[in-house]
Structure formats: structure tokens, C-alpha cells
Amino acid sequence: MKKSILFLITLISLTSCGGDNKSVDAVIDSNDMAAIKAKRAELNKQQRDLKADIDKLNQYIDSHEKKERPALITAEVIKDTLFKHYVEVQGNVETDQNVVLNAEYSGVLTNVYVKEGQRVSKGQRLAKIDDGGMSSQVAQQEAQLALAKTTFERQERLWQQKIGSEIQYLQAKTNYEAAKNATQQMRSQLAKTLITAPFSGVVDEIISDPGQVVVPGQTPIIRLVNLSNMYVKASIPETYLKNIKKGTQVMVKLASINEEFTGTVRQVSNYINPNNRSFEIQVEIPNKDGLVKPNLIATVKVNDYSAENAITVPENILQENAAGETIAYIYHPFNDSIGIAKRVLLETGLSYQNHTEVKSGLKKGDTIIKEGAKTLRDGQKVTIKK
């Protein structure tokens, strides 16, 4: 159509100028410079007028040809859904029952009653340090305690019968109390020569061997670990403090053993670390197979925001206009194959996993334009890709 109009215009132009060729030649033959310039000005004006008419025709043809070719798009009907946003941080696996038992008495380690990997119960004997004769001293002290007790009880009965002096009764009582305290103290000291399990667990490592001289507070003897009460500790930026509390849903991934867990926050710290402006949380995790070990690195995703019946759209279809407003295009059907792209202003919320929550501007049942949205204009005709 465009070529036909151009050919027609050219033909009319040549026809109209065909009769003027003689006139132009005649003007040139006349050697009249004023006439020649006047003829040139006349032809230039005709040329400008003709070009303007051609431009109008081209513009009309272009606009109609564009309307005849709707833009190809893909679209999706919007449904409401449960939207959850997670804050992702790194944490460490820990347990409160992972301790190294040190010597509390100075002497030679005489016996180790357990082996590495052995499961033990709370209070079970693990090792023995030579007491250096203290057990004999305790036996002597217990004999003195028994004598002091007998003396006191007899003196007490006499005093109740108004026999003897009060000073004798008080001296017997004092001697008995002193002997009892001394015996209790010696028993406590003797008990430090026997190392027992403070909780049920597994002997992870035997650090000192029998025959080695051990020193209180300096010589580690046995590492005892309980893997049944494991948890993940993670630091969360203080900006999320309002949205995270005890019971908040958490997803934990341990990449090194390819395990994932879903749990809840069991403890939220009441202290903000001034160095990194964060607070700590603890998440209890199961350990049925014993694969979870202390100090494993964990990826922690904490659910800090949830919305039911939320409208979400792919993040990559959102655009921004010159005013800084967020826009998108929705599809309005015109007939069976063609529709209109309508621009809408959106109020958006949080984004997670390439989807953004839309607070206003869209509703359930709207058809959002996805592919092709970046090049559309408001009111443009579009057709959905089959």
C-alpha cells in the first residue's frame, strides 16, 4: 500500500512537470537572470509542498500498519496465595553438653574406666586420681566424728536431766559440729579424686593417660559430648527484632551433610551486640542419626513476615516510571485474539525468591502481562502468544 501511494505521487509529479520542461528551457534561453531565479524559487516551493504531503502519507501508513500488528506477549491470571518472607543468615550448630573434664585434684591419674566412643550415664565413674593417702585420713576423721557424736548425745541427755554443767554440754556440741564439718570437707576433697560424668553422653576423647601427673584446672582428662540436645545459634540484625520472637518459624540447612530441618525459635537474646548491632537466636534441631555435630555451619532462614491471600507478581516484570512509581501492565481482552495493555500503578511490599507482594493496584482475577511488558505503552494492542 505504501509503495503504491509513493509511485502515484511520483507519477503525478512527473506529469505535472512534463509541460514545464519547455518553459524552464525557454526561461534559460531568455538569459533573464531574474526570471531564472523566480522559476527556481517556484519549483523549490513545489518540491517542499510535495515532500510535506509525502510525509503525511507515510505517517498515516506507518500508524495504521503498527495497529495491524499487535505486540506478542505472555500473560498470567493472578491468584491469591500465602506469601512468606525470610531473612537469611549464617549460624553454627552448638550444644551445651560438650565439655572437657579437667582434674580437680593434684596427683597421678591411676585409672581410666571408659573408652573413646563409649556411652555413659550421668554420675558414672570415668577416671580416678591417686588420693595420696587421703582416704585413710578420711577414715580417721570419721572415727573421730563418731566419738564426738556419741559424747555429745550423752552430754545432751545429762543436760536434759539437769546433770552436769552447761559448759560441758556446749563444749561437746561444739566438738561434734567441728568434727562433722571437718569430715564433710575431707570427704569433698576425696571426691575430687574421682571423675564422674556430669550428664549422660558419649566419651568423645580421652586426653590424659593413666600414670600421668595431673594438676587442678590445667590438665584436661576426658571430653564428654551429648548429641541429643543440639541447637543452632545465629545472629540477626537488630532491624528484625520486632518481627522475630519465640516460636517464629525457621528453616535450617546443613549443607555439609545435605540435611534440612524446619523448626521454631526457642530463645531470643535480650542483648544487642554493640559491635555488629545484632541479637542472637537459638533453634532446636533433631539429631536422630547422630550426624549433626557441634560447630557445623548452618544456613538459617527466619520467617519475619507472612501474609495470607496475598497478591504476588514476578519481580522482573515490575517497572518504574519517570516519577519513581512502580508500574505494570494488565491485559484487557478486545476480541478473541487481541487485547489492550493497560498500565497500572502499584504499591509493593517485600520481595522473596524473585516474587514481590503487591499491596494495591492488582486484584485476584486480573491478567498480568509478563513477557513483552518492558516495551509496551499504555493502550497498545497486544496478542497472547499461543
How many other β-carbons are positioned within 10 Å of the β-carbon of residue 278? 20
176: phi then psi, degrees, rounded to nearest 5: -65, -45
Q: What is the mean pLDDT of the chain?
A: 87
Amino acid 65: pLDDT = 58
What is the rounded CA–CA span in Å between residue 155 and residue 167?
10
Residue 210 has pLDDT above 80, yes or no: yes
Amino acid 21: pLDDT = 52
How many other β-carbons are positioned within 10 Å of the β-carbon of residue 158? 15
Rounded to an integer, the average pLDDT of 363-379 is: 91
Amino acid 279: pLDDT = 96
Q: What is the pLDDT of residues 215-255, one digit of tens each?
A: 998 999 999 999 888 999 999 999 999 999 999 999 999 99
Q: Residue 336's pLDDT band (boundaries 50, 70, 90)?
A: confident
Q: What is the pLDDT of residues 253-289, one digit of tens each?
A: 999 999 999 999 999 999 999 999 999 999 999 988 8
Amino acid 14: pLDDT = 43
What is the rounded CA–CA span in Å between residue 171 and residue 184?
20
222, 125 Cβ separation under 8 angstroms? no
CA dist list (Å): 263 to 114, 238, 250, 302, 303 = 36, 21, 5, 10, 11
Q: What is the pLDDT of residues 10-28, one digit of tens each?
A: 444 444 444 445 578 888 8
Amino acid 225: pLDDT = 92
Q: How does strand 259-268 pair with strand 249-254?
A: antiparallel
Amino acid 27: pLDDT = 80
DSSP 196-246: E-SSSEEEEEE-S-TT-EE-TTT-EEEEEE--SSEEEEEEEEGGGGGG--T
Amino acid 67: pLDDT = 52
Element (H, E) at 313: strand 297-314
Rounded to an integer, the average pLDDT of 148-157 is: 90
Q: What is the pLDDT of residues 172-201, one digit of tens each?
A: 899 999 999 999 998 888 889 899 999 999
What is the rounded CA–CA span in Å between residue 52 and residue 58?
10
332, 379 Cβ separation under 8 angstroms? no
Q: What is the pLDDT of residues 43-55, one digit of tens each?
A: 888 888 888 888 8
Degrees, nearest 5: CA angle 324-325-326: 120
Rounded to an integer, the average pLDDT of 67-92 is: 89
What is the rounded CA–CA span in Å between residue 365 and residue 282?
42
Instruction: Decide which of 117 and 18 is more confident.
Output: 117
What is the rounded CA–CA span in Å between residue 82 and residue 80?
7
Residue 125 has pLDDT above 60, yes or no: yes
Residue 370 has pLDDT above 80, yes or no: yes
Rounded to an integer, the average pLDDT of 54-69 is: 72
